[in-house]
């Protein structure tokens, strides 16, 4: 993408830790701090409904138990996805991807959709999520950015919705990171912020890639990334960093 349409600052999982992650409430809290782009995790229910949740298991962020991807949406929709965070958010439901998409579209917010497959479902998740995203965002000026740690999910997303921009997520260094991103037709590399240095930034930019970082919650880390000339910073600290900086 020669004309990069996304802001530098992106709110992680909606509003980081100020609200229950990956919920509509979290996006609203992030928006109240001035953020206009949000990162979220999307996976599939057993009956192929895309919904927001990070973990494969339900226990940490919902009132449920077991693997989320093994449950039908009718069961998942009844869970409390807010009470674990604080009493003020008790009863907050798990959101469907469609409900989050429509909230963003109505308010002209932008979205970084991390495709987060339940283990063993990378290709199916990439295909379904990308296809639904293409349907929801057609036509719009700024498409969502699809990212994943799973090359198979990104390949399926590319085949299902080739016009949507993609980014490869990296948590640890490996020698083929740039070749993999190019093979998948990515426009961005989204790294654990510690992986960026002058050499890796220069290599990505020379290949025409944008450089994004997660999860940046300290001022010293943000200042280092700004000095390196990176393009995007994903943060939990929507209360600390101004999205206008």
Condensed to tens digits (0 to 9), the pLDDT of residues 105-142 reads 999 999 999 999 999 999 999 999 999 999 999 989 99
Contact between 46 and 72 (Cβ < 8 Å): yes
Contact between 58 and 51 (Cβ < 8 Å): no
Residue 199 falls in the annotated catalytic set? no
Identify the three-state secondary structure at position 196. Answer: coil
Identify the three-state secondary structure at position 50. Answer: strand
- DSSP character string of 52-106: E-SSSBSTTTSS--SBGGGS-HHHHTTSBSSTTT-GGGTTPBPPBHHHHHHHHHH
Contact between 116 and 148 (Cβ < 8 Å): yes
Of the candidates 62, 52, 63, the one whose C-alpha atom is nearest the C-alpha of residue 22 is 52
Question: Which pLDDT belongs to residue 2?
Answer: 72
Catalytic residue among 12, 33, 85, 193, which? 12
Q: What is the pLDDT of residues 18-73, one digit of tens each?
A: 999 999 999 999 999 999 999 999 999 999 999 999 999 999 999 999 999 999 99
pTM over 0.95: yes
Contact between 154 and 184 (Cβ < 8 Å): yes
Q: What is the pLDDT of residues 143-189, one digit of tens each?
A: 999 999 999 999 999 999 999 999 999 999 889 999 999 999 999 99
Cα-Cα-Cα-Cα torsion 111, 89, 68, 10, nearest 10 degrees, comes to 20
């Amino acid at each position: 993408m020669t004309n990069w349409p996304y802001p530098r600052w992106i709110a992680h999982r909606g509003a980081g830790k100020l609200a229950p992650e990956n919920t509509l409430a979290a996006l609203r809290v992030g928006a109240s701090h001035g953020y206009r782009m949000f990162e979220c995790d999307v996976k599939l229910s057993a009956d192929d409904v895309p919904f927001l949740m990070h973990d494969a298991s339900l226990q940490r962020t919902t009132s449920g138990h077991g693997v989320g991807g093994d449950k039908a949406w009718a069961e998942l929709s009844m869970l409390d996805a807010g009470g674990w965070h604080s009493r003020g958010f008790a009863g907050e439901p798990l959101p469907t991807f469609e409900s989050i998409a429509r909230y963003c579209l109505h308010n002209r917010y932008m979205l970084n959709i991390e495709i987060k497959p339940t283990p063993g479902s990378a290709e199916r998740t990439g295909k379904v999520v990308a296809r639904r995203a293409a349907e929801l965002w057609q036509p719009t000026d700024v498409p969502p950015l699809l990212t994943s740690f799973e090359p198979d999910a990104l390949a399926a997303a590319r085949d299902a919705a080739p016009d949507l921009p993609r980014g490869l997520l990296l948590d640890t260094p490996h020698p083929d990171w740039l070749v993999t991103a190019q093979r998948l037709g990515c426009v961005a590399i989204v790294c654990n912020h510690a992986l960026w240095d002058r050499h890796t930034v220069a290599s990505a930019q020379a290949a025409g890639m944008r450089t994004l970082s997660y999860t940046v919650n300290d001022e010293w880390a943000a200042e280092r990334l700004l000095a390196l000339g990176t393009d995007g910073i994903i943060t939990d600290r929507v209360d600390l960093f101004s999205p206008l900086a």
